[in-house]
Structure 1
Amino acid sequence: MQPDAVTLQGRVALVTGAASGIGAAVARRLVAAGAQVAIADLDLAQAERLAASLGSGVAIAVAMDVTEEAQVEAGVAAVVQQFGRLDILVSNAGVQHVQPIVELSLADWRRVTAIHLDAAFLTTRAAMRAMQTQGAGGSIIYMGSVHSKEASPYKAPYVAAKHALIGLAKVVAREGAVDGIRANVVCPGFVLTPLVQRQIPEHAARLGISEDAVRSQVLLKDTVDGEFTTVEDVAEAVLFFAGFGSNALTGQSLVVSHGWSMQ
């Protein structure tokens, strides 16, 4: 995709979990395409540093625990107050927990599903209300995973929540169509974010193999080229959904994974 292929001039985006990793790359890419961006994150100081690096009047930082209803509502209201509108939501915040089901606590199950799924609901509801009020449509993009379509052992809450995001996107696509609101899911393969980097020694210890073997024999074994997906790859997919001009592309999921899980 060429840098000028998609323009988001005059659009406003809210990206959750955007202070680092995939979220930060998405925020940068949307700004490069002309959007103003709200960087929502638990780590307000890091979000503020990223916003400052993107330029005055282009980005703002918003403190947000995406599992807390009041914080989500206040955060979306702050974005609309600052920029006057909201056109794009990227529900990206996420965590991982690696443990067999028989050892998994209900508290850990609820923590992971809340950050991925409850947060998607809360941010979607607030964003849809704002988009309906302004009457200009919008794009809601969920950060799914190859695990929205496939399963790996020891990741039950993550896999369950990521599968559920596809179902949520389909419902939002149906309900939002009358207002021109689209909903889609980006499904990355393994990206070398801190989230994935923390999994490598955990897998190595559990499987009794080296970290290099985890990379080649576990994480990347089903790709076509043995390569990790980059944050920039994922950001381009988000931009594609964000900039699409009609309801022709809604309720869909796009796998970005070097060929892992071909659909």
Structure 2
Amino acid sequence: MQLIDKSALITGAAGGIGRAIAERYAREGARVAVADLDLAAAEATVETIRRGGGQAMALAMDVTDEAAVNAGVERMVAEWGSLDIAIANAGIQHIEPVHTLSFADWRKVMAVHLDGAFLVTSAALRQMYRQHSGCMIYMGSVHSKLASPLKAPYVAAKHGLVGLCRTVAKEGAAHGVRSNLICPGFVRTPLVDRQIPEQAKALGISEEAVIRDVMLKDTIDGEFTTLEDIAEVALHLAAFPTAALTGQSMVVSHGWYMQ
């Protein structure tokens, strides 16, 4: 097991990518704090982890609430003594063209992705700097590299995470902290499933055409990226032994974007 005696905080971990990473980390020996806006769903994820023999706790966390983020980090450190890995994964989506997009909807998406990542980073780094070690991981997207129509706030936020990740890699180096970004292609999570009918309506095409001609058009095999793919990369980044791998964005997209 690659993460024995490590403590990990994962936001948005009650379902989707966050849950897949939480379960994988637990199988690798990590103690996992499952943080989510939906406490009941977080507790269900924790119960699954515990049934499998892992260690986990559920944290009610709105990542846009500074007090909630700080309290969550303080609670897990008080119980487990360290914060070795922090993953800023919480995210939302909004499908609409720029010219009709309201400022409120723009700010809502940016708040969860960018403000949330900042607050999690700030709280995590204070602890990581005290212990002189740590690993920050951000959940970007292929949209950290490319743009798509109808997703202006999401694309802007995911691009912004690249800059935050790289800055943390520079600042954290003196404190033994690494920082990297995962950039998934389309993964069949509830977030993506909701986009399919929304894009079909906005583009005036069928849902099948959205999947074939929009989402998977530029992959090498017409396949979705899987939860297991992302969890594997997250494990690799967390377990990597040196600062040779920091400030990087790892694209996992079936060839949709190649760098």
Task: Give TM-score, length-normalised by structure 2.
Answer: 0.98
Amino acid at match of 2:19: A
Q: What's the secondary structure of 1:234's corresponding residue? A: helix
Name the residue aligned to 2:234: 238
Query: Where do 1:119-158 residues align within 5 Å?
Result: 119-135=116-132, 137-158=133-154
Q: Does 1:72 align with 2:69?
A: yes
Query: Where do 1:101-112 residues align within 5 Å?
Result: 101-112=98-109
Query: Where do 1:182-261 residues align within 5 Å?
Result: 182-261=178-257
Amino acid at match of 2:151: K
Q: Structure 2 regions of 5+ residues with no counterpart?
A: none
The structural deviation recorded for 1:57 is 6.7
- The alignment of Structure 1 onto Structure 2 pairs a total of residues equal to 257
CA distance in 1, matches of 2:5, 2:101: 46
CA distance in 1, matches of 2:16, 2:221: 23
> CA-to-partner distance for each residue in 1:173-202, whole Å, 9 max, x for gaps?
010001110000000000010000001011
Name the residue aligned to 2:23: 28
Amino acid at match of 1:59: A
The structural deviation recorded for 1:34 is 1.0
- Does 126-135 or 221-230 show the bigger shift? 126-135
CA distance in 1, matches of 2:200, 2:47: 38
Q: Is the 2:27–2:54 Cα contact (8 Å) retained in structure 1?
A: no
CA distance in 2, matches of 1:184, 1:134: 19
Q: Does 1:54 align with 2:77?
A: no
Amino acid at match of 1:149: K
CA distance in 2, matches of 1:25, 1:149: 24
CA distance in 2, matches of 1:76, 1:40: 10
CA distance in 2, matches of 1:206, 1:89: 36
Residue 98 of structure 1, aligned match among 86, 95, 99: 95
CA distance in 2, matches of 1:168, 1:50: 29
> CA-to-partner distance for each residue in 1:222-262, whole Å, 9 max, x for gaps?
00000000111011111111011111110000000000010
Name the residue aligned to 2:39: 44
Q: Which runs of 4+ in 1 moved over 2 A?
A: none
The structural deviation recorded for 1:92 is 0.2
CA distance in 2, matches of 1:256, 1:232: 11
CA distance in 2, matches of 1:116, 1:260: 22
Amino acid at match of 1:111: K
Amino acid at match of 1:171: T
CA distance in 1, matches of 2:127, 2:151: 34
Q: What's the secondary structure of 2:244's corresponding residue? A: coil
What's the C-alpha RMSD, in Å, of the aligned pairs?
0.9
- Does 159-168 or 198-207 show the bigger shift? 198-207
> CA-to-partner distance for each residue in 1:204-235, whole Å, 9 max, x for gaps?
11222111111001100000000000111011
Q: Is the 2:29–2:54 Cα contact (8 Å) retained in structure 1?
A: no
Q: Structure 1 regions of 5+ residues with no counterpart?
A: none
Provide the identity percentage.
61
